[in-house]
Amino acid sequence: MISTTVQGILAGFVPEEHILIQEPLSRHTTFQVGGEADCVILIETEEELSALNRYLNQIGLPYFVLGNGSNLLVSDQGFHGIVLKTKGNFEKISTNGNKITAQAGALLSQIAKEACEQGLTGMEFAAGIPGTAGGAVIMNAGAYGGEMAQVVEQVRLIGQSGEVFTMTNAALEFGYRKSAIKNLPFIVTEVTFALQKGEPEQIRAKMNELAAARREKQPLQYPSAGSTFKRPEGYFAGKLIMDAGFRGYSLGGAQVSEKHCGFIINKGNATAQDISDLIQEVSEGVYEKFRVRLEPEVIRIGSF
């Protein structure tokens, strides 16, 4: 629980209506599961985020920053601390020449749409990724042969003391589903993408082609966190899972998708524990059969 004293101090940083006490995190994640956070604070400006980051570090209160909640599994017991969720002004996108600057809360789909409208190519792969710019940089999100490492020029961040600084692409040390800031106490506030000039019609055609492929191959009608596991070197996670006999396998309300075995979906009444247990069971089953260890791409928050 957040004390009334701390609540009062928080109200000095953001409008009181942006402070949500005992807020169900199932409302803020694409899995649509998870218990309550002690407090969710809706953040609209870098100044708010910087001040809150400095204060929360000073008092030692646990917190994490949430974008679209698309790569997250929150425990049924919730999160005992504060969730900082970007919204409003933190979703702005602007274009200058061949560069697009997006606030951390901007959806990748909207950034890709802006790039297409401006005749800029390079973001087509990201149009169907259900995440935000901030989270995408941290995880080096990618699909269909593209990834953030190919298009990010620089990132604006906030440090533990509230200081604002930038990191270039080289300093970010991108790797497969990781970056240098993944395990550092920095918060992404803005991302600048360097793209190439292209023909809007060709860009749109490519985006439509990839969207059709997603509809055909992915279980988009069910809540999920996208690809559940990282791709093991030399293999495809979905094929390993299918060949291990897990296609359509259910545990409680969670299921290995029949359409794409790389996805674990919420069939409608799953708990976070159902999903976590199924991830574990699939991982162990694949290892037992093929001696290949599947590493979850989904980040767990809270106690499981």
The 10s digit of each residue's pLDDT in 198-240 is 999 999 999 999 999 999 999 999 999 999 999 999 999 999 9
Would you state the structure tokens that stand for residue 12, as one six-digit string? 């000095």
* pTM, full prediction: 0.92
C-alpha 209 chain-centroid distance:
23
How many residues make up the chain in this entry?
304
Q: What's the Rg (C-alpha) of the chain?
A: 20
Which residues does the annotation mark as catalytic? 177, 227, 297
Tens digits of per-residue pLDDT, 8-39? 999 999 999 999 999 999 999 999 999 999 99
The 10 Å Cβ neighbour count of residue 216 is: 10
Residues of the chain with pLDDT under 70: none
